[in-house]
Amino acid sequence: MEWSLLPVWGIDFFGSAAMILVSLLCVVEAYKNSQKNPDSPLAAYILWFSMALFAFSASRSIGHMIKYVLLYFGRADLWHRLSPVSGSINTIAFTGISSVTLFFHRMQKIMEKMEKDRIKIEKTTKELLKLNEDIEAVVSQRTKSELALRIAHRIRNPVMIIGGLIRQLMRKGHEDYENYQLHLEKILEQAKKLESLVSTFENLRASTQETFIDIDLNELAEEVIEVITPEADKKGIVLVFERSAKPLTFRGNPHLLKIALLHIIRNAIEACKHGDSIEITTGIEGGRLFLEVKDNGPGIPPEILKHILKAFYTTKEGKTGLGLPYVNQIIKEHRGELKVDSVQGAGTTVRIYLPTHGPELGPEVQ
C-alpha cells in the first residue's frame, strides 16, 4: 500500500503559513492593548507572551516552508545544510516561550498580592474616613455643650441679680424713692453686662464666619475655567462659558468652592473624548444661584448614578472615587444642593445650587 504525502505536505505548508499569520495577529492585538493600558503589567506580559508565540511560530513555520520548497525543487542537499540552523532556532523559541510563560506564573502572584493590598488599603481608608466623621461629630458635640455651659454661666449671674432686685422692688413698692433709684441703676448695670455678652457672641459668630466671604459665582467660575482650560485643550474638548449678566454674589469659602468646581469640570473632561464639549452656565433660578456643568460625553449608567455620591465609588482605574462625595460635602456646607442628571449616551449635567445673599435677587423676584 502506498499513500501520497501530498495531504501531509499540504497541511504542513499551509498550516505553517497560517501559524505565522495568526501569531502575528496576536502580536498586533497585544500591542494595541498594551498601548491602551501602558501601566498594566498584565498587558505587558500578554505582549511578551504573544511575541514569544510569534517567534515560536515563525521560526518553526518558516523552516517547514523552506523545507518543502527546497524538497519540491529537488534541493534536498541545501535543506540538509539549513535544517540544523532552523531546528536550533526552533528549539530556542520553545524554551523562550516557556520562560516567558513560567515567569508569568510569578508575576501573577505579585499582581494578586497587589490587588489584595489595594482592597485592604481601600478598606482601611474607608474606616479612617468613618472614624474621622465620628470624631468630628463628637468634637462638635463637645464644643457645643461647652459653649452652652459657658453661656449659661455668664448669663446666670446678671439674670439672677436682676431677678432679685426686681423682686425686692416689687415687695417694697415706690415708697423708698432713694432705694428705688439705686435698684434701677443696679439693674441697668447688670443689663449692660448682658448686652456686652451679646456683642461678644456676635463677634464670636463673625470670627467663625471669617472663612466665608462675599464672592461672585461668575468670577469664581471664570477663575476655575482659566485653570482647567489647558486640560480640556489637551484632550481636544471645547469649554463654553455662558456667564450670567447679573452679579451673583453670595457668602462662601472661595477656596473650597473652587476645589468643588474644578472637580466637577475635571470629571466631565475625564469622561469626554476629543471633539466633545462642556458647557458651563451660571444664573439664578427659583431664588437660588446655580452653576451648571453640562457635557455631551458618554453619560452615567443608571446603576452607577445611584451610587455616585457615595464615597469610594469609581469606575476609573487609579482613582479614589472620593471626588463627588467631597464636592457634595462642600456644597452642603454652603447650604447648597448638588444635582446630577445623566442620560446614557447623551451626556451628563451637574448642577450646584447656592443660597443667594444680597440684592441680586431683586429683578428675579419682581
Instruction: Identify which range of 26-34, 153-161, 225-233, 349-357 contacts other proteins by CB under 8 A.
Output: 26-34
Cβ-based nearer residue to other proteins, 229 or 314: 314
Residue with grid cell 457635557, as numbered in its chain: 295
CB 78 within 8 A of CB 70: yes
Coil, strand or helix: which one is 239?
strand
CA 181 to CA 3: how far, in whole Å?
138
The option from other proteins, ligand ADP, Mg ion, none interacting with 62 (CB < 5 to 8 A, set by class) reads none
* Burial class for 38, CB neighbours closer than 10 Å (0-12, 13-18, 19+): exposed
Q: Is 358 left (phi over 0), alpha (psi -120 to 50) or beta?
A: left
Question: Could you tell me the end-to-end alpha-carbon distance of the chain, in angstroms, rounded to an integer?
Answer: 108
Angle formed at CA 191 by CA 188 and CA 193, multiple of 5 degrees: 115
- Residue from 323, 325, 336, 347 binding Mg ion (CB under 5 A): 323
- Residue from 199, 317, 362, 363 binding other proteins (CB under 8 A): 317
Hey, what's the torsion of the CAs at 13, 17, 19, 22, to 10 degrees? -160
The option from ligand ADP, Mg ion, other proteins, none interacting with 206 (CB < 5 to 8 A, set by class) reads none
Minimum CB–partner distance for residue 349 and other proteins (Å)? 24
Minimum CB–partner distance for residue 265 and Mg ion (Å)? 10
The grid cell for 258 is: 473652587
CA 177 to CA 144: how far, in whole Å?
45
Minimum CB–partner distance for residue 292 and ligand ADP (Å)? 12
CA 62 to CA 204: how far, in whole Å?
86
Residue with grid cell 482605574, as numbered in its chain: 317
CB 352 within 8 A of CB 264: yes
- Residue from 2, 77, 175, 178 binding other proteins (CB under 8 A): 2
Residue with grid cell 416689687, as numbered in its chain: 170
Residue count, binding to Mg ion (CB under 5 A): 2
217 belongs to the binding site for other proteins (CB under 8 A): no
Instruction: Identify which range of 157-165, 230-238, 321-329, 349-357 contacts Mg ion by CB under 5 A.
Output: 321-329
CA 128 to CA 168: how far, in whole Å?
59
Minimum CB–partner distance for residue 330 and other proteins (Å)? 30
Instruction: Identify which range of 22-30, 183-191, 251-259, 260-268 contacts other proteins by CB under 8 A.
Output: 22-30
Site of interaction with ligand ADP (CB under 6 A): 267-268, 271, 295, 297-298, 300, 304, 308, 313-316, 319-321, 323-324, 348
Nearest position to Mg ion, beta carbon: 323
130 belongs to the binding site for other proteins (CB under 8 A): no
CA 339 to CA 39: how far, in whole Å?
34
- Residue from 58, 97, 265, 327 binding other proteins (CB under 8 A): 97
Cβ-based nearer residue to Mg ion, 271 or 354: 271
Identify residues 219-278 at the interface with Mg ion (CB under 5 A).
Answer: 267
Angle formed at CA 318 by CA 317 and CA 322, multiple of 5 degrees: 100
Residues contributing to the site for Mg ion (CB under 5 A): 267, 323
Residues contributing to the site for other proteins (CB under 8 A): 1-9, 11-12, 15-16, 18-19, 22-23, 25-26, 29-30, 32-33, 36-37, 40, 42-43, 46, 50, 53, 57, 63-64, 67, 72-74, 79-80, 83-88, 90-92, 94-95, 97-99, 101-106, 108-112, 115, 317
